[in-house]
Amino acid sequence: MENLPSLLEFIEAACRQAQLEEEIAFSVKLAVEEACTNVIRHAYPDGNAGPLHLGFRSDAAEVVVTLADEGIPFHPEQAPAPDLDSGWEERPIGGLGWHLIRQMMDEVHHEQGTPSGNRLTLVKRRPAMTRSS
Amino acid sequence: MQLSTENVGPAVVVRITGSVDSLTADTLLTALRLEVEAGNIRLVGDFGGVDYTSSAGLRALLATVKEARQKGGDFRLAAVQPGVHKVLELSGFTSILKLYNDVDAAVASFAP
């Protein structure tokens, strides 16, 4: 977890440099935080350290973030559906990370890394530019 | 993230500024828990200065709501900004948390 601040700073700086719309930057930062904490907790459990490569590219149409680790493979499609409806007494604490990633991003692709680990690609489309000329 | 606490009428207002994320949520939860344990169970979270939250922040909010309500009180949010509101909505939190437009309205909601 001690590297999380630098990962979040990297993504914030990249969003600023790309001059992303505020709402798009919010979504990207949130999805990246959820994905990074997921890798830190599940790909490298028990406080074990391991590499996490974070990539960012953007153009006028979209933002693409990639996360590559060499840890234990995970299967996002097997993440249990979140409980969004029960009352406060029954509502479980936690379990919203993947839900938020899927809600905030337009595309989420997960594949097994080569030779090991996970490769996650997050795509967020930017609003169509309005041109005045 | 910065925190400050103030007694306002029947409630304790916790003013939160900055990001409530994986790095700061534990600090927030600890501060809120101390209030509940001290008997300050009518809590208002002033979210006017919170520009970001993630699922880590949601965990702290839900844990506080549960602890306060179990003691007969509540943790109510005021002045939630649009980005954070969207996260609350997507997570189904708007159906269990009580939200108010401003701190005054949230404090007034605790008046007997």
The answer, yes or no, to whether residue B88 has pLDDT greater than 90, is yes
Interface of A with B in 54-93 (CB under 8 A): 82-85, 87-89, 91, 93
Q: Could you tell me the mean pLDDT of each successive run of 10 residues in chain A, 133 residues long?
A: 88 96 97 95 88 95 96 89 95 95 97 91 88 48
Question: What is the sign of the dihedral through the CA atoms of A35, A40, A44 and A49?
Answer: positive
Question: What is the sign of the dihedral through the CA atoms of B54, A13, A26 and A33?
Answer: negative
By Cβ distance, the residue of A33, A88, A103 closest to B54 is A33
**Which positions in chain A touch B63 (Cβ < 8 Å)?**
93
By Cβ distance, the residue of B23, B52, B92 closest to A29 is B52
- Asked if B58 reaches chain A (Cβ–Cβ under 8 Å), the answer is yes
Residue A129: the pLDDT is: 67
CB pairs under 8 A between A and B: 58
Residue A130: the pLDDT is: 57
pTM: 0.94
pLDDT in tens, B18-72: 999 999 999 999 999 999 999 999 999 999 999 999 999 999 999 999 999 999 9
Residue A133: the pLDDT is: 44
CB–CB contact B58 A96 (8 Å) = yes
What share of residues in chain A are helix, strand, coil (percent, to 5)? 35, 20, 45
**Which positions in chain B touch A83 (Cβ < 8 Å)?**
92
Nearest CA-CA distance, residue A82 and chain B, Å: 8
Alpha-carbon span B85 to B98, nearest angstrom: 12
- Asked if A29 reaches chain B (Cβ–Cβ under 8 Å), the answer is yes
Which ipTM score applies to this complex? 0.93
Given phi > 0 = left and psi -120 to 50 = alpha, else beta, which region is B10?
alpha
Nearest CA-CA distance, residue B76 and chain A, Å: 13
Higher pLDDT, B1 or A114: B1
Chain A residue whose CA is closest to B98: A88
Residue A3: the pLDDT is: 86
